[in-house]
Structure 1
Amino acid sequence: MKRLKTLLATLALTAAAPFASAVEIVVPAYFYPSWMPELNEWHQLTWAAQQGANVTAIMNPANGPGLSSNSDYVASINEFRAAGGKVIGYVYTCYGVNHCTPEVPPTRSTSEVLADAEKYASWYHVDGVFLDEMATQPGALPFYQTVSNGLRSAHPGWEIVGNPGVTPTAGYNGLANTLMSFEGSYSDFVGGSFLSGLSTHAASTGAIVHSVATVAQMQEVMGLARQYGLGAIYVTDGTMASGNPYLHLPSYWRAEVAAAAAVPEPASAAMAAGGLLVLLGALRSRRVR
Structure 2
Amino acid sequence: MPHLTSVPTGAASTGVRTGLGVPGCAHPLLAPAEWQALTRPGAPLHWVVLDVADGPGARPDPHCLEAAGRLRNGGVRVLGHLDTARGTRSCSELIAEAHRYREWYRVDGFLLDRAPTDRGCLPETRRTVAALRTLGEAPHIVLGHGTHPHPGYAENADQLVTFSGPWSDYRWSQVAEWTADYPPERFCHLVHGVPHGHLEEALRIARWQGASTIWFTDSTDRGGRADPWEAMPGYWDDIVSRVGTGVSE
Q: Normalising by structure 2, what TM-score?
A: 0.85
Task: Please list, as runs of the form range in 1=range in 2, the aligned pairs for 1:17-96 lying within 5 A after superposition.
Answer: 22-34=17-29, 39-47=32-40, 50-51=41-42, 53-96=44-87
Higher relative contact order (CA 8 A, sep 6+): 2
Residues 25 and 232 in structure 2, CA contact (< 8 A), matched pair in contact too: no
Q: 2: distance between equivalents of 1:65 and 1:39?
A: 19
C-alpha deviation, 1:197, in angstroms? 7.3
Confirm whether residue 114 of structure 1 aligns to residue 95 of structure 2. Answer: yes
Unmatched 5+ residue regions in structure 2? 1-15
Q: 2: distance between equivalents of 1:246 and 1:177?
A: 22
Question: What RMSD, in angstroms, separates the aligned Cα atoms of the two structures?
Answer: 2.1
Q: What does the per-residue CA deviation read over 1:120-167, in whole Å, with 9 as the maximum and x for residues that have no partner?
A: 111011110000010010111111011111011233411101111110
Letter in 2 for 1:61: V
Residues 111 and 141 in structure 2, CA contact (< 8 A), matched pair in contact too: yes
SS in 2 for 1:88: strand
Q: 2: distance between equivalents of 1:68 and 1:203?
A: 34
State the partner residue of 1:5.
none
State the partner residue of 1:10.
none
Letter in 1 for 2:35: W
State the partner residue of 2:241.
258
Letter in 2 for 1:65: P
Structure having the larger proportion of residues in helix: 1
Identity of aligned residues (%): 29
Letter in 2 for 1:30: C
Task: Please list, as runs of the form range in 1=range in 2, the aligned pairs for 1:119-198 lying within 5 A after superposition.
Answer: 119-194=100-175, 198=179
Structure having the larger proportion of residues in strand: 2
Query: Which has the higher Rg, Structure 1 or Structure 2?
Result: 1
SS in 2 for 1:79: helix
State the partner residue of 1:224.
205
SS in 1 for 2:181: coil
Deviating 4+ runs (over 6 angstroms): none
Structure 1 residues 191 and 253 mapped into 2: Cα distance closer, same or farther (>3 Å)?
Answer: same
Q: What does the per-residue CA deviation read over 1:194-230, in whole Å, with 9 as the maximum and x for residues that have no partner?
A: 377742224311110111022x312221232233331
SS in 1 for 2:65: helix
Q: Normalising by structure 1, what TM-score?
A: 0.73
Structure 1 residues 78 and 39 mapped into 2: Cα distance closer, same or farther (>3 Å)?
Answer: closer
Work out the number of aligned pairs and report it.
228
Q: What does the per-residue CA deviation read over 1:234-269, in whole Å, with 9 as the maximum and x for residues that have no partner?
A: 10111121521112111111111112127xxxxxxx
Letter in 2 for 1:24: G
Residues 130 and 163 in structure 1, CA contact (< 8 A), matched pair in contact too: yes
Structure 1 residues 74 and 231 mapped into 2: Cα distance closer, same or farther (>3 Å)?
Answer: same
State the partner residue of 1:205.
187
